[in-house]
Structure 1
Amino acid sequence: MDLKGLFQSWPVYRQLTGDDKLGRGKAAQSKRSLTLTPRTAEVDHVAHSVCPFCAVGCAQKVYVKDEKVVQIEGNPDSPISRGRLCPKGSASKQLVTGPQRLTKVRYRAPYATEWQDLDLETAMDMVADRVLDAREKGWQQFDSDRHTLRRTMGLASLGGATLDNEENYLIKKLFTALGALQIENQARI
């Protein structure tokens, strides 16, 4: 490459001699940047989700390629966030792809001194069995005057402020269907 060609390839030269005086367009582009494509260009599908961090409920687009999350962005169609995410929401890809993410359920049996790894299906079955057992043990069909109660005192729910309205609604319906009376939310207390 001659000296003139070297200067013409220099971004500052292109900025000063071309139409892009502020250096925000063609003047700043390198050969490498012209060949780059976005991570989202060749994804298999886009899943719609909600940011898990707070109760605002900012919508997200989750880009998936080869069954792996490659990018998470704000959804511009959302009336709540209009495509914007806070710093924590923007970094939520780390929740599913970070090396610190736990991929197994850790369980320590009663009176045991060691933890053991369980697969998710076994752990979910254990939770369901315990919920049904607590419901049954605390069940009250009638009071002392034979008034029908159909409730359980063996279950309670305390929701958190990180849940959005839809999640709180579903939890309320679930625990009400189970017969629980003690259903509360941290945001209301």
Structure 2
Amino acid sequence: MNMELSRRGFLKLAGTGVAATSLGAMGFGEAEAAEIAHVRPFKLTTTTETRNTCPYCSVACGIIMYSKGDLRKGETADIVHIEGDADHPTNRGTLCPKGAALKDFVKSPTRLQYPMHRKPGSDKFERISWEDAFDRIARLMKDDRDANFVATNAAGVPVNRWTTVGLLAASATTNETAWATFKFAKALGMVGFDNQARV
């Protein structure tokens, strides 16, 4: 039997053989090839995308949270996936190990979701409303500031300092929010002002 094969025909035949052998070596048979041909829908197509900022360090990486359920329709939103935001200029879609584990952070059974208060002498925390928590914080701050505010130093120079209270701010925020937070702390005379990124 005489078979003539051009160089181009030989390369086509060799390429087909290599592709078939590679698929076989990777474990793809006829059934898997049929499944590959059928495109399944993406798992995130029915979810709601929400862009946010990672709450950990001060780098402020962008994240995308995917949730099922629409809060605008009164449904409960359940976060099913969190990933880095490829369009964010800070991280361009990458996340550190802590950021990559954000879903576990959000779904943690020990995550604090509402204000808790432990009364003096009690051995347990009790849930209180946000209004009660804000009122209590404001009252305690006002009482402490009235009792410990230093208007002038020993030489009579105005210093306007409140040294018995400090403020720990969030680093995962916008420049505008950080500026407003700083102005709030300094307007009250707080000397101790720091950021979570240094903790």
TM-score (norm 2): 0.64
Q: Give the equivalent residue in structure 2 for 1:84.
A: 94
Instruction: Out of 23-32 and 122-131, give the one that drifted further.
Output: 23-32
Q: Distance in 1 between matches of 2:178 and 2:65?
A: 23
Q: Which runs of 5+ in 2 are unaligned?
A: 1-15, 72-76
Name the amino acid aligned to 2:166: A
Contact 2:171-2:196 within 8 A present in 1 as well: no
Contact 2:85-2:93 within 8 A present in 1 as well: yes
Q: Distance in 2 between matches of 1:140 and 1:26?
A: 80
Q: Give the equivalent residue in structure 1 for 2:59.
A: 56
SS of equivalent residue, structure 2 residue 98: helix
Q: Distance in 2 between matches of 1:84 and 1:30?
A: 34
Q: Distance in 2 between matches of 1:61 and 1:182?
A: 34
Contact 1:152-1:181 within 8 A present in 2 as well: yes
Q: Distance in 1 between matches of 2:29 and 2:61?
A: 34
Given the alignment of the two structures, is residue 132 of structure 1 paired with residue 142 of structure 2, yes or no? yes
- Of residues 41, 48, 51, the one that matches 2:45 is 41
Q: Distance in 2 between matches of 1:33 and 1:55?
A: 45
TM-score (norm 1): 0.67
SS of equivalent residue, structure 2 residue 141: helix
Deviation at 1:141, TM superposition (A): 2.9
Deviation at 1:59, TM superposition (A): 0.9
* Superposition CA RMSD, Å: 3.8
- What is the number of residues matched between the two proteins? 171
Contact 1:20-1:26 within 8 A present in 2 as well: no
Given the alignment of the two structures, is residue 151 of structure 1 paired with residue 161 of structure 2, yes or no? yes
SS of equivalent residue, structure 1 residue 53: coil
SS of equivalent residue, structure 1 residue 47: strand
SS of equivalent residue, structure 1 residue 56: coil
Q: Distance in 1 between matches of 2:198 and 2:100?
A: 28
Distance 1:133 1:31, change over 3 A: farther
Deviation at 1:57, TM superposition (A): 1.9
Distance 1:187 1:96, change over 3 A: closer
Q: Which runs of 5+ in 1 are unaligned?
A: 1-15
Given the alignment of the two structures, is residue 163 of structure 1 paired with residue 171 of structure 2, yes or no? yes
Superposed CA deviations along residues 8-45 of structure 1, whole A, max 9, x for unmatched, are xxxxxxxx98957644899856649946433431223x
Name the amino acid aligned to 1:128: A
Distance 1:22 1:128, change over 3 A: farther
- Of residues 109, 119, 122, the one that matches 2:129 is 119
- Structure number with greater CO (CA < 8 Å, separation at least 6) is 2
Query: Considering only CA atoms, is the larger Rg found in Structure 1 or Structure 2?
Result: 2
Distance 1:72 1:188, change over 3 A: closer
